[in-house]
Chain A
Amino acid sequence: MESDGVERRSVGGLLHRLDARVKLLAAVAFVVAVVATPLGAWRLLGGLGLALAVLIAVSGASPIRLFLRWLGFLALVGFLSALTAGGLADRAHMSWGLVVLNLLVKNSLAFLMMLVLVHVTTWPQLLLAMRRLGMPPVLAATLSFMDRYVNVLREELERMRSARRARWFRQGRDLSVGALSTLIGVLLLRALEREERVHAAMSARGWDGTIRTLED
């Protein structure tokens, strides 16, 4: 029933087998610690970075892929750091460049930790862990329902788009705003109609709003 996580496969490995609750809590604690580290506490950040490096090595995640993902967000984070660093620099009596660097390092540590977490934990495991840790059951059920249908809808959209493009007798590759909006409108309609059918089918099988899993 659960679709396999987006781009991961659960393989062996020490971290993969650890209870997802432990991993989730540890990752959250790490991120909070990084965020709470005061400006200029380079040694503390170094220590946290070292711990993260060890984790990455143990997790078996490809450092190149991690690096590329990190690079993808660098522009946004850099821009926002540069924007906010001015006021911080005055208060912390540090130079502007150092503050930007500090923010970038802290953000990278938090970002990479989350990346490692999803590398060693599948989405269904993470959801179950969150539910056991007190996430409202409706929210957890909604998240797994979404996970089930997100790719269905994406494929549907892709099919509609190529069908439309095949009948698009105009120059240029892109569909117009109007055509794309109609596609989204059709997708919304189909999604809501599919939901009606799915809900009817779920009700016929006794769905009452509570999820029951074999792990419970």
Chain B
Amino acid sequence: MHIPDVLIDSRVAIATTAIGAAGLAYGLRAVERRHGARTTSLMGMMAAFVFAAQMVNFPVGPGVSGHLLGGVLAAVVLGPWAGAVVIATVLIVQCLLFQDGGLTALGANFLNMGLVGAVGGHAVYAPIRRLIGGRRGVLVGAMIAAWFSVLLAAGAFTIELAILGDRHEFFRILSWMALVHAVIGVGEAVITGLVVRFILLTRPDLIEDEPDSVADEVAHGMRPGWLASVLAGLGIALGVAVFLSPFASEAPDGLEFVGGKLGFLPEEETPPILTAPMPDYQLPISVPMAAIDQIKLATALAGLTGTLAVFGFAWSLSRVFAPRGSSSGKVEFDGV
């Protein structure tokens, strides 16, 4: 979702514009160092692709449709900073030519979708990919990263927007945004996964740092033991899901703290800066919970189920890469 003009506080707009400009300058330099004179055609074509792919509407339900965002897809294919530069290019065109996203919110939008979405998404992708290894690692990593990029971008969006508002309101909005985007993120993960799988089956050499293990896989089969990979992947997935609960419970406190410091919120109690993420949820059975706690719990549960669902789906999609076995080599896509 693109933030329009006026809706974020001027201070937030100035700060995010500065961060966005610095991030873009760094990203451009990183990409140029790597691709040299090819930067223009590579980034330009990828941006044109993302722009075109965003026009494909996926049927979600009656009257509802969604589309690919593409930040993680671009980052998986070309690398994190390339992903950010591609997103920046798309955002600039959307802002200037189509007035989608405000001029003064361009930095904020780039921060959410490019820096948090693509670079942050790649940060989730890289370790998962390394741990699982091979083409399966690429696919599972890309899907989980796609899911998280949507959630993280939504979180950043809410913080920028609601830093102005009443903090109880903010808390509710953040939880609802996380819930809604946990669902939207699954869509992004599925589309990203299917596209990445297609590329892995046809031209795996196009993926950034071509999975060295594609050759390995052919030679030795899956590198780590099967069970080990499953456990590793699940462990990461769950670890990352727990990361969502503090996102639901602590972020507003952090904001309150900042708000109190900056003097735009009344300072009542000094909230702890660092607390364990779980105490809020301890044994909710006997204690009657306030509605807000239910939302928190629902958000944490959504995070958990979402991660598990995306992981399970990614794992089943990646079965085509299993080197030998009953269903191996059965390629189910049909090209056009």
Give the interface of A toward B (CB within 8 A).
Answer: 5-6, 28, 31-32, 34-36, 69, 73, 76-77, 80-81, 83-84, 86-88, 90-91, 103, 106-107, 110-111, 114-115, 117-118, 123, 126, 136, 138-139, 141-150, 152-154, 156-157, 160-161, 163-164, 174, 177-178, 180-189, 191-192, 194-195, 198-199, 202-203, 207-209
List 10 A-B pairs, Cβ < 8 Å: A118-B97, A138-B28, A142-B40, A142-B89, A147-B93, A154-B55, A156-B52, A181-B191, A189-B198, A189-B199
- CB of B275 within 8 Å of the partner chain: no
Where chain B touches its partner, the secondary structure class is helix
Instruction: Decide if B194 touches A73 in the complex (CB within 8 Å).
Output: no
A54 → B minimal CB distance (Å): 20
Instruction: Decide if A185 touches B97 in the complex (CB within 8 Å).
Output: no
Q: How far is the CA of A187 from the CA of B38 in the complex (A)?
A: 20
Instruction: Decide if A146 touches B47 in the complex (CB within 8 Å).
Output: yes
Q: How far is the CA of A178 from the CA of B6 in the complex (A)?
A: 39
Which residues of chain B in 256-272 are interfacial with respect to chain A, using CB atoms and an 8 Å cutoff? 264
Q: How far is the CA of A66 from the CA of B40 in the complex (A)?
A: 33
Q: Which of A88, A149, A186, A208 is B165 in contact with, Cβ under 8 Å? A: A88
Proximity bits, B41-52, A CB within 8 Å = 1, else 0: 111111111011
Instruction: Decide if A115 touches B198 in the complex (CB within 8 Å).
Output: no
The chain B residue sitting closest to A207, CB to CB, is B37
Q: How far is the CA of A29 from the CA of B113 in the complex (A)?
A: 26
Where chain A touches its partner, the secondary structure class is helix
Q: How far is the CA of A32 from the CA of B28 in the complex (A)?
A: 26
Instruction: Decide if A198 touches B45 in the complex (CB within 8 Å).
Output: yes
Instruction: Decide if B55 touches A145 in the complex (CB within 8 Å).
Output: no
Give the interface of B toward A (CB within 8 A).
Answer: 1, 3-7, 10, 13, 24-25, 28, 32, 36-49, 51-53, 55-56, 58-59, 68, 73, 77, 85, 88-90, 92-93, 95-97, 99-100, 102-104, 161-162, 164-166, 169-170, 173, 190-191, 194-195, 197-199, 202-203, 206, 264, 333-336
Instruction: Decide if B194 touches A195 in the complex (CB within 8 Å).
Output: no
B56 → A minimal CB distance (Å): 6
The chain A residue sitting closest to B41, CB to CB, is A199
The chain B residue sitting closest to A91, CB to CB, is B264
Q: How far is the CA of A198 from the CA of B294 in the complex (A)?
A: 55
Q: Which of B56, B95, B173, B334 is A157 in contact with, Cβ under 8 Å? A: B56
Instruction: Decide if B206 touches A192 in the complex (CB within 8 Å).
Output: yes
User: CB-CB < 8 A to B47: which residues of A?
Assistant: 142, 146
B267 → A minimal CB distance (Å): 15
User: CB-CB < 8 A to A73: which residues of B?
Assistant: 4, 99-100
With known contacts A146-B47, A209-B40, A186–B336 Cβ distance under 8 A: yes
Instruction: Decide if B59 touches A84 in the complex (CB within 8 Å).
Output: no
The chain A residue sitting closest to B194, CB to CB, is A181
Instruction: Decide if A209 touches B39 in the complex (CB within 8 Å).
Output: yes
With known contacts A69-B99, A145-B41, A76–B4 Cβ distance under 8 A: yes
User: CB-CB < 8 A to B197: which residues of A?
Assistant: 185
With known contacts A142-B44, A149-B44, A177-B59, A83–B5 Cβ distance under 8 A: no
Q: Which of B4, B93, B195 is A184 in contact with, Cβ under 8 Å? A: B195
Q: How far is the CA of A169 from the CA of B202 in the complex (A)?
A: 25
B109 → A minimal CB distance (Å): 13
Q: How far is the CA of A213 from the CA of B182 in the complex (A)?
A: 47
The chain B residue sitting closest to A177, CB to CB, is B58
The chain A residue sitting closest to B88, CB to CB, is A139
Q: How far is the CA of A152 from the CA of B95 in the complex (A)?
A: 21
Instruction: Decide if B99 touches A114 in the complex (CB within 8 Å).
Output: yes
Most chain B beta-carbon contacts within 10 A, residue among A84, A103, A126: A84
The chain A residue sitting closest to B105, CB to CB, is A35
Q: How far is the CA of A154 from the CA of B336 in the complex (A)?
A: 16
